[in-house]
Amino acid sequence: DSLLSVSNELKIKNLNKNYLPQLMINGQMHYQSDVTKTPFQDIPGIKIPTVEKDWYKITLDANQVIYDGGITAKQKELENSKVAIDRQNVELELYKLKDRINNIYFSILLFQENNKTLLLLKKNLEAKLSDVNSGVKNGLLLSSNADILQAEIIKLEQSIIEIEIGVGTSKSIMNEYTGLDLNEKALLSLPETQINTSVFENNRPEYALMTLQQNQLSAMKDVTGRKTMPRIYAFGQLGYGRPGYDMLKNDFDDFYMVGARFNWNIWDWNHSKKEKEVLDIQSQIINTQKETFDKNLKIDLQNKLADIRKIEEIIKRDEEIITLRERISRASSSQLDNGVITSTEYLTEINAEATAKLNLTTHKIQLEKAKIDYSASLGNF
């Protein structure tokens, strides 16, 4: 943003120089086929100087704007509108970056919570394996039951390794995007987001960009209108050459002139009018794009709100399922201890409980992400 400000300041300074006097050195030499003569040139006894056919001149010319029709002021407004668009393009890129960071953040949360669930499951299976080993030693259970549990624990360790690698990779990407220094042990917290669905206020950077583009078109229209305004200048000329302003004096001489000039393009064959019409059409096109953007955004928000409501209902069912699964797992654990069921049957129930808990965790994370996505769709990160 600082670079954009510096660039804009330089452009404005250049435009302000339109009000400063313009100085130019001009030189000319030429030979012409004829010169001005008087009717008395050939009368005997009268000596009238003859103008030489070779002319030489060097001048210092000054031009000062007194009134430029307001075009410089409008050009400055146009430059300001351009830098506003450049800044908004930066905001748009930041918005996209925030969206990517948001996705990475929630992917880390999913990895993190899944890892917690798997570690807890592993701990429970290790405790159960200890019980089963005791049963095997006492001849109450077959050794295959212990082997089945041990194999499942190893599978869990593989899954945990995969998750930890995924967490590390995602945190590295997050660090690159944000400049943070998240280490592998850093834990992210699940945000609690409140959304207001009763008010539609479009703060999307794309929408603001379209508004700024319309402002630029309006500024361009103002500049075009000023092209046909009258202009007043003061000018001066200081020179040396032959002949000077005294055409009958053949010697090199100095000369000067001061005055004022008035320019007014009273007819440009409707060129400015057509330019304005083109700019008006472009503004209308952008207005249509804004209306379409608003309409699509409202539809998208309705879909996102429906997803939020759906996930909220699913979470209620998840909690009911977990209550039932915990009850089933406790019964299965007791049955395994008593040799009523095998380790395979026990694992089926304990994995079903773990899956239910994973589903609940996943849905809670999805719910918060859906809420943030809803707010982000309105441009509110």
State residue 45's pLDDT score. Answer: 65
On the question of pLDDT at 108 being above 90, the answer is yes
What would the mean pLDDT of 195-224 be, rounded to a whole number? 95
State residue 44's pLDDT score. Answer: 67
On the question of pLDDT at 160 being above 70, the answer is yes
Structural domain includes residue 272: no
How much is the pTM?
0.83
Residue 332 and residue 355 in one domain = yes
Residue 242 and residue 209 in one domain = no
pLDDT tens readout for residues 123-138: 999 998 998 898 888 8
In this prediction, residue 203 has a pLDDT band, given cuts at 50, 70 and 90, of very high
Residue 104 and residue 157 in one domain = yes
**CATH number of the domain encompassing residue 78:** 1.20.1600.10
Structural domain includes residue 215: yes
Phi and psi at 257, nearest 5°, equal -155, 140
Structural domain includes residue 271: no
On the question of pLDDT at 144 being above 80, the answer is yes
Residue 86 and residue 203 in one domain = yes
- Please give the residue range of the domain that contains residue 44: 1-67+232-263
On the question of pLDDT at 251 being above 90, the answer is no
- The per-residue pLDDT of the chain, averaged, comes to 92
Structural domain includes residue 304: yes
pLDDT tens readout for residues 9-46: 999 999 999 999 999 999 999 998 888 777 666 666 66
Q: Which of 37-51, 150-164, 356-370 has the lowest mean pLDDT?
A: 37-51
State residue 53's pLDDT score. Answer: 85
